[in-house]
Chains A and B, each alone.
Chain A
């Protein structure tokens, strides 16, 4: 096959409007547009389809990236990758697989932070209450034991 053959086989630029439409049609079909929408619908509808397609591509790209991160997290805390850990080895805190999916927005991240702080506060109060209860019981025991003497 020589260079001339190659030149002849190259598709030519669309010349007429019909050729332009026929050339563009499969691209819009791939974006989800129907035959009727493309040929009989409002001409400017293609702009919305292009924008929606662009949004879908960005979303897909983000999903793939996110999936990669989750896989990375899962591998990171897999015992196999830690080598030969000692008996009773525990991964450092925060190194485990996330208990919840990553927050999707700043707002969601803030809400989770507030929720985490509330849970910490509740846990702290519960610890204080348990400790004061223990102290009370201890004192009570001391009083009863000194009374017995």
Chain B
């Protein structure tokens, strides 16, 4: 095709000789194109909601790298919608009736550009009153451009980087507490172990941070605590790595060379699994190990078996929290999808949908700006999240405390911090 030789080439050459009849060529092409450009954009209108329902857009990855967490979050949202609709829907005062919620779902395949485009599509041709979505920071960043453009509220259930919320956008909200608080709480937890005599003072930390805002925030949070509490820990090594690598041996070699006592990484689920497998293969030992917000996921347990024991994680929610609404949620979720909630993923999504439903009800209409105004003041007093109260902060992000969980042998998980919510004692240092 590039050289006019060989069998295929000869055919092409013969064709092209005839190609020089410009009439037959330029006649057909522009009209075909015109037809396509007129017909195809019109096809994008499949999901328009009728006036007898409230359309809510949901844009999450259920394929691609972030497929598993995205799927869990979708399940959380759908459970909430199902429960709302079982009650007849949301009462819209202005229309004097209860309307059911209709989910308009798009899979963004863990792709940032696609994600932004799908949110835009939902907000325009599907005419949703709000969009839930944005699992993981990069997708959240890309999507966060759209809400203010189309004046449609957007709640991220999976992006925690504070940078998203520092840009002055007026239509964005998030049910994930900021990542720097995660780092801070992690260091605080380790500090409490020192205070209880389980760890010595002055231990060295090795940090491996994912090369995103999430990782940067995590590192900052840890650094802040260390600065406020001199003498407890020292950072011996800190480096960033790219998400999605297959081989972390270079990074782990450097961690080995640093000869630290505690290994703290901040990674996504796949990278956690890959990195920890290679960590085990280096034969290293650290007194405490954490992968940020990852630890108890069942995929990791399956892939690594006993190697995941004693890993601790700082997460936004745990099924072990001693609140009655958590027990009920766990039971409802199990009944609806046939397995227990995996780590924290479904909970933040579930509560986001509930907060949205409440805000719509309080607004009394389907006006998007009114809904936004009421999201700013909404308060969910039976929230699943730690602290039991969901309230969006000034910049749209909530600020609930984190819980630290630790993996125990035989697939058990315990909350080990804060102590008033603990279901078991922390095991530190890790047994060899």
Q: Check if A and B associate.
A: no
Q: Which residues of B contact A (CB under 8 A)?
A: none
